[in-house]
Amino acid sequence: MDSVCVRRPDGTVRRYSEHHVQSVLQFLGCKLNHAPNMAVEILRDLHQQQSTMAESAKTPATGTEETECVEYSAFRQAVYAVLASWQYRVPDAQYDLAWCVRDRRRGICILLGGTSGCGKSTLASLLASRLGVTTVLSTDNIRNVLRSFVSEEENPVLWASSYHAGESLVDVEQDGGVEERVIRGYRDQAEAVFPQLRTTVQQILSRRESVIIEGVHLSVDVMLRLAEELPMCLPFVICINKEAKHAERFATRAKYMTLEPRFNKYMKYFENIRLIQNHLCREADKYSVPKVDNTNVDRSVAVIHSTMLSVLAHIANGTFPQLVDTDTHSTPLLRNSKAMMLRLIRERPLRRWPAESNDAHEDQDVATNEEKSGNNCGPERKESNHSGHADGYHIHRSGRENDDENDDDNDDDDDNGDNNDDNDDDDDDGDGDGDLASHSDIAI
């Protein structure tokens, strides 16, 4: 049996296939190598329940078997039973949210802002795969569409890359220095993209679809305005704390695989790129927007995924009617949820590795430092290297540990960038290609 017919409390009938159930389990944080087997178990249990009722489902006149639908309560009970057998703990609000998104009764929008080279594109693709979101949008695409309607002479800021848009400004005082010109050009370009971006997000959410949007034009102000108008939008600032590691990513994006500024336009404007990142991090601290140091892509996926589940579940069930505090124009719920998740990672090492390595302790130190220092992303920050075991966020039933092999997350593995920078100046082909972390047992 590869599908089941479910009668919902409102009387509507939906047929869920094995793929549907698996995608919801992944949305809830079940591991990629667990979800398929769990989906099979759920449908098998429901099939066995239906088999016991087969005789009563036959009509006396014809003896034919009628289509039997499972009541929603029985379906929910079967899902929770399998989750418990695999030792996943899922709050009711998160479970309901997952099926709302799956049935397209509600859409969600995740906003990943950050400067060039921080891995936004890769992170967005991994999150989309994990959450079953089919639409990933880059703000570079919106900027390129807008360029079709205005000439470079009419709007030179729009036609420049974000990191040197300030060079096109003529009304900026020279006394302000390089930083003021760089930030002003960046903000002006973000403002030029915002109206069309807002319209696009509104249209997607009005169709009850979900989307992940990434791009350098998602400034903190732009993301907060979107989150204030559209309650299911969650903003995150993606950054790279370590300046040297940030620079290394641009080597794979240059024609000659070099960091020489003569041959690598990103290194030519690297100081401008870091100025924009520092500006984003300061604004994120000011308005309590969570920052994610994308040094380890698996850990970044885990942070965003678990924070998203917790916060959106609170918003969906009415615990918190809106994400943005209109008085302070900040997102304390989102920031606090991310901090709580980091504490849980530090305080609850739910899986023991064969040998107690220093990696776990180093990962705990990083989580502690992020909370104490506010995740400062400036170049002056000194950060110790860490190797985050993202899959350590789970309890696993004994006997299933063999499913979790080959999940080592080494920072060095996350420096492998893509080389797909043909047209977009601000495309972010980041890093990381390991198993995604899962963390459904973290209730924030």
Instruction: Give the pLDDT of residue 410.
Output: 38
Cα–Cα distance, 214 to 114 (Å, whole number): 8
- In the chain, the domains with their CATH numbers are 3-53+68-86 (no CATH), 109-415 (3.40.50.300)
- Looking at residue 283, its amino acid is E
Number of neighbours of residue 77 by Cβ within 10 angstroms: 14
List, for the chain, all residue ranges whose pLDDT scores fall below the cut of 70.
Answer: 1, 53-67, 169-176, 252-264, 319-321, 326, 332-333, 335-444
Spatial contact of 363 and 385, defined as CB atoms under 8 Å apart:
no
pTM: 0.74
Instruction: Give the pLDDT of residue 166.
Output: 74
Cα–Cα distance, 111 to 140 (Å, whole number): 14
Instruction: Give the pLDDT of residue 210.
Output: 96
Cα–Cα distance, 298 to 256 (Å, whole number): 29
Cα–Cα distance, 329 to 272 (Å, whole number): 27
CA-based radius of gyration for the chain: 24
Spatial contact of 75 and 199, defined as CB atoms under 8 Å apart:
no
Nearest to 397 by CA among 79, 81, 85, 67: 85
Instruction: Give the pLDDT of residue 161.
Output: 82
**HSE (CB half, 13 Å, CA atoms) of 420?**
11
